[in-house]
Chains A and B, each alone.
Chain A
C-alpha cells in the first residue's frame, strides 16, 4: 500500500509534471521523421513504419578498424538514449535531498521508497518510448506509409561491408526495434539510479554515456547497447547479437541494480545528502 501511494506520487511529480521533456522528445522524433522522409525521397523508396523505427532506433553498423575509415558517432542513436537518461537523471537525487527525506520518515519504509523509484524509472522510460512510437505511427499514417515492422531498405543501406545479411525480406523486427531499445534504456536508467546512491549523479551519467558510446564502437555481448541496435541483431546479420541473450542480460542487470540499490539504501545516510 505504501509502495502504491509512493509510486502514484512519483508518477505525478516525476512523470506528469515533467511533460515539457516529453514535448522536447516528441519534437526530436518529428524532426527525425522528416529527416528520414527526405532520405527516402532521395533514395526513391517507399518507407514503412518499421523503416522509420529502424532509422531512429536501429543503431549503427559494426565498426571495423581501418586506417582510412575513422569511427563516426551514431549521433541519432546516442542522442535518443542519452537524452532519456538525462531527463530521468535528476528526479530521484533531488527528491532525496528534498521532501524524500520526509516521505521516508513518515512512511517508515526505505524499501518502498526505493522500489517506487525503480518502478518510476521503468515507467518513465516506457513513456518516452510510447511517445516516440505514437508520434511515428501518427506521422506514418498521415504520410500513407505501410504500418508494418518489416524493414528492407534501411537494412540494405546500413549493413557492414563483408557481413552476411540473413534477414528475410518479410521478417518482423518489432521486438528488436521496439522492445530492445526500451529495455536497454530502462536497464541503463536503473544502473544510473543505483550509481547515484554511490557517486554523484554527474558521474553516474558519465558512466551511462560511456556505456552508450562503447556499445556503438565495439560489438561485444558485454556492451549491452549492442542488443538495442537492430542492425547488429542476429536476425539481420550472420554474426549478430542474440535477442534472447540480450533480454536475459539486461533483465539480470536490472534485477542486480534493484537489489544492490535496495541493500545500499538500507544503510544510506539520507540526512547528509546534498546536491
Chain B
C-alpha cells in the first residue's frame, strides 16, 4: 500500500512539474552567484588592503561573504530566484500529491481501496506519500543548487565580525553552529526545509478533508502564509516597543538568513507543533468519521 502510494506520488506529471518549477529558481539563483563569483578574485583580495588576521593566516574578512555558505540558495538574500522559491514554496510543495485524497473521493477510487484494506493503513500510506512528495520537491532543488554552486564557488570559514553581511544574528536558530561549523548549519537548514516541504504538502492534504475545491486545497496554505507575513509586520508595527522580534512566517524562517527578523527556535518549534497537531488531528478525527458511501 505504502509503496504503491509513493510510486503514484513520485512518478506523476504534477510531481515533475513542481520539481521543475522549484528547481528552475534554485538553478537561476546558483547561476547568479556563479556569475558574480567569476568577477571576484580571492587572490586579488588576498593582496589587497582589506586584510585582517584571523587564526594566524593571511585572511580577508570579505572571503566568507563570497563563499559557498553565502552563495547557496539558503544564503541568497538578493535574487528574484530565491524570492520566488520561498514565495511559491507552499504551492510548489502542495502540487505533487496533496490533492490525491480529494480526487480519489471524487472519482470513487477510494471505495475500491477501502473495501480491500483498513482505513488506518490507507491514511498512513496516503499521509506518508504526501509528506514524501512535498519533502522531495523541497530537497531536490537544494541538492541541485548546492552541486552547482559548490562546483564554482569555494568554501571559506565564516567570520562573526561580518554579522551584517552574513545576516545571522546572535540568538537566531543555530547561529552558533554557523560560526563554528557552517556546513552543519547548511545541512540543518536543508533538513528544516525538507521537513517543511512535507508539512506544507500535508496542510493542503488536511484541507482536502474540509474543502471540495481543488484550488482551495492547493492555494489556501499559500494565501495563509502571505497573510501571516502581513500580520507579523502589523503586529510588530503596533508593538514598536518589542525589541526581540521573531519570524512567524514559515517561508521566512526557512531561509537560513534573517531576512527581516530573527528565527527563534521556540517559535519555529511551536509553529511546527501547531501544523503537526492540525494535520494529525484532521486525518485522525475526520478520517475516522469518513464514510465511503
Binding site for B on A (CB under 8 A): 31, 35, 38-39, 42, 65-68, 70-73, 75-76, 78-79, 82-83, 86, 89-90, 201-203, 205-206, 209-210, 213-214, 217-218, 275
Provide 8 A-B residue pairs closer than 8 Å at the C-beta atoms, listed in order of the A residue: A35-B237, A38-B237, A68-B165, A70-B257, A73-B83, A90-B213, A201-B215, A202-B219
- Are A75 and B215 interface neighbours, CB within 8 A? no
B207: CB under 8 A from chain A? no
Is there a chain A Cβ closer than 8 Å to B16's Cβ? Answer: no
Are B257 and A86 closer than 8 Å at their CB atoms? no
Known: A70-B77, A70-B259. A31 touches B215 (CB 8 A): no
User: Which residue of chain B lies nearest to A38 when distances are taken between CB atoms in the complex?
Assistant: B238
Q: Does B267 contact A (CB under 8 A)?
A: no
Contacts of B222 in A (CB 8 A): 209
Select A76's contact among B91, B165, B230, B260, beta carbons within 8 Å: B230
Proximity bits, B209-241, A CB within 8 Å = 1, else 0? 000011100110011001101100110011010
B65 contact from A67, A79, A201, Cβ within 8 A: A67
In the bound complex, what is the Cα–Cα distance between A125 and B213 (angstroms)?
21
If A35-B237, A70-B167, A71-B78 touch, whether A202 touches B87 (CB-CB below 8 Å) is no
Contacting pair B233 A205 (CB below 8 A):
no
Chain A residue numbers with a CB within 8 Å of B95 are: 202
Q: How large is the interface on B (under 10, 10 to 19, 20 to 34, 35 or more residues)?
A: 35 or more
- Selected from A38, A68, A73, the residue in CB contact (under 8 A) with B87 is A73
Residue B110 lies at the interface, judged by CB distance under 8 Å to chain A = no
Q: What's the least CB distance linking A40 to chain B, in Å?
A: 11
A205: which of B21, B219, B229, B238 is its contact (CB, 8 Å)?
B219
Q: Please, which residues of chain B bring their CB within 8 A of the CB of A39?
A: 237
A-side contacts of B230, CB under 8 Å: 75-76, 79
For residue B177, CB closer than 8 A to chain A, the reply is: no
Q: Taking CB as reference atom, which chain A residue is nearest B218?
A: A202
Q: Which residue numbers of B lie inside 8 Å of A, CB to CB?
A: 17, 21, 65, 77-78, 80, 83-84, 87-88, 91, 95, 106, 164-165, 167, 213-215, 218-219, 222-223, 226-227, 229-230, 233-234, 237-238, 240, 257, 259-260
List the 3 shortest-distance A-B pairs measured between CB atoms, nearest first: A70-B77, A75-B230, A75-B229
Complex: chain B residue closest to A213, CB-CB? B87
CB distance from A125 to the nearest CB of B (A): 17
B88 touches A202 (CB 8 A): no
Q: Which residue of A lies closest to B25 (CB)?
A: A210
B226 & A75 in contact (Cβ 8 Å cutoff): yes
Q: When chains A and B are docked, how far (Å) is the Cα of A76 from the Cα of B222?
A: 14
Q: Which residues of B contact A205 (CB under 8 A)?
A: 215, 219
Q: Which residues of the other chain, A, contact B237 by a CB distance below 8 angstroms?
A: 35, 38-39, 42
Bound CA span A206–B20, Å:
13
Asked if A86 and B87 sit within 8 Å, CB to CB, the answer is: no
Q: Is the CB of B240 within 8 A of A86?
A: no
Residue in B21, B84, B223 whose beta carbon sits within 8 Å of that of A86 in the complex: B223
Contact A218 B215 (CB under 8 A): no
Q: Which of B77, B106, B222 is most buried by chain A, counting CB atoms within 10 A of its CB?
A: B77
B165 touching A202, Cβ below 8 Å: no
Q: How many angstroms from the CA of A70 to the CA of B91 in the assembled complex?
A: 23
Asked whether A206 lies within 8 Å of B91 as measured between CB atoms, the reply is yes
